[in-house]
Amino acid sequence: MLVGCTGGTVGASGSGGIDIGGVQGTPGAAGLRDPYFPKLGNGGYDVSHYALDLRYDPKRGRLDATAMITARATQNLSAFNLDLAGLTVDSASVDDAPAAVNRAGNELTLRPRVDIDKGEEFRTKVTYSGVPETITDPDGSREGWLRTADGALALGQPTGSMAWFPGNHHPSDKAAYDITLTVPVGTQGVANGVRTSERTANGRTTTVWHVAEPMASYLATVGIGKYTTKLSATPSGLPVLTAADPTVAARSEQLLNRIPELLAWQEKNFGPYPFSAAGAVVERTGDAGYALETQTRPVFPMDAFTPEILAHELAHQWFGNSVTPETWQDIWLSEGFAVYAEWLYAEDFEDVPARTSFEAAFESDANWAFPPAEPPSAENLFDPPIYQRGAMVIHKIRERVGDETFSEILAGWPATHRHANASTADFTAYVEDVAGEDLDDVWDVWLYGDGKPAQPD
């Protein structure tokens, strides 16, 4: 048995010495060399589906879980890694055969009984348990598994998802999900996607959530608590499920009811909504230190639940969730568009021109600490230049190409890279292709330039 972050190699049954046989393949890389998180993610395979079966006891804070991971080998594999922080690995198998397991920090290395050929699909089962960790990010924010007064909240940006399930936790490896949550009666489990079933037996309620479209692991979420829930729909028939902590349910109700309206407005700007479900989770102030764009069902602490922030997180469903950053260096693309959605909200609902929001952002010295496409370190990935100066880049594109072409870019960019990953280079090339001209002056000054220009222009 492997506990926490201790090392060593054991058989999945708990005994040492599985006979591996002749080795033809090589181990997959233990990291994808992301510019800011080089050890995050793993090489040698591509995940297509996670089936997570999670049983949680809020009183003890204990999680008992099984992850079934379906993947395809991208090389001949003798071994491969999964990212997992803390927790006890009780057993592991590959294609129903016990696998040898080694644990070193957050790296879980599995060596199957026989090598996996390049192009072969394989299924890995990991059974694990324990009290999930809360992870402190380089910028000091808290993520991972957050215990709340009546349950728990799982948030994953940028690395916290590995606190509650093993996987390939880099945004470049997106997959479909089925998440099964079993919690005590009187407590509800909420996750991403469409709720496909719910049953109660032996004092526990089990719900199953299906995410058909590809999802980066940092966008997976679980909320466990005594929620007030509501199911509605957009004008086009998209199901909208919301959940609010009972202590904030009345205060959040009016804004939650606006989600169908806001999604319809965003579809006019950004094109068809890219997923099969929508909604939100609203928690007490303090349960999380920030709102997060968790796929199909963004999460908000009550003190961050405002119309502008709701517009921001819903816009992420197109920018960040459907079109996901290739690496963490590209995060400005997600946040710049989401902040620009706030500026569009102010323009359309509050009669505040986007140019006014641009000028206010321009005047803040905090937005000029570094270029949005080149944050200096991991602790700067969520600093003001990523958000506000990122939105300034978007607005300068609008001013340069005109509203008609800009509208084409707003809807065309998420359509072109729907359910995929994209980089800053992909974006600049796309914009110039649509505009029919180079925009080097925009990129050189606003996206990559050091320091604040003399005038906003």
- For the segment 37-58, the average pLDDT, to the nearest whole number, is 97
**How many Cα atoms occupy the beta-carbon half-sphere of 84 within 13 Å?**
32
Q: What is the pLDDT of residue 19?
A: 40
Q: Would you state the torsion angle of the CA atoms of residues 221, 177, 206, 296, taken in this order, to the nearest 10 degrees?
A: 50
- Torsion angle of the four alpha carbons 369, 374, 380, 382, in this order, in degrees rounded to the nearest 10: 100
* pLDDT for 410 beyond 80: yes
pLDDT in tens, 314-358: 999 999 999 999 999 999 999 999 999 999 999 999 999 999 999
pLDDT band at 16 (very low <50, low <70, confident <90, very high): very low
| 268: pLDDT strictly greater than 50 | yes
Overall pTM > 0.95: no
| Nearest 10 degrees: Cα torsion 304, 422, 47, 314 | 20
Give the contacts of 353 (CB within 8 A, at least 6 positions apart). Answer: 347
Question: Would you state the pLDDT for residue 6?
Answer: 30
Position 402 pLDDT exceeds 90: yes
The pLDDT of residue 455 is 80
Q: Quick one: pLDDT band at residue 454, thresholds 50, 70, 90?
A: confident
Give me the percent of the chain exceeding a pLDDT of 90.
92
Instruction: Please give the sequence-ordered ranges of beta strands (E in DSSP) within 133-203, or none if there are none.
Output: 134-136, 142-148, 151-155, 175-184, 188-191, 194-201
CA dihedral 373, 374, 378, 382 (to 10 degrees): -40
Quick: pLDDT tens for 144-199. 999 999 999 999 999 999 999 999 999 999 999 999 999 999 999 999 999 999 99
Q: How confident is the model at residue 133 (pLDDT cuts 50, 70, 90)?
A: very high
Report the alpha-carbon distance of residue 457 to residue 450 in Å, rounded. 17
pLDDT mean over 126-138:
95
pLDDT score for 209: 98
At 139, the pLDDT band (50, 70, 90 cuts) reads confident
Q: Tell me the pLDDT band of 112, cut-offs 50, 70 and 90.
A: very high
Mean pLDDT for all residues in the chain: 94
Among 35, 129, 131, 20, CA closest to 77: 20
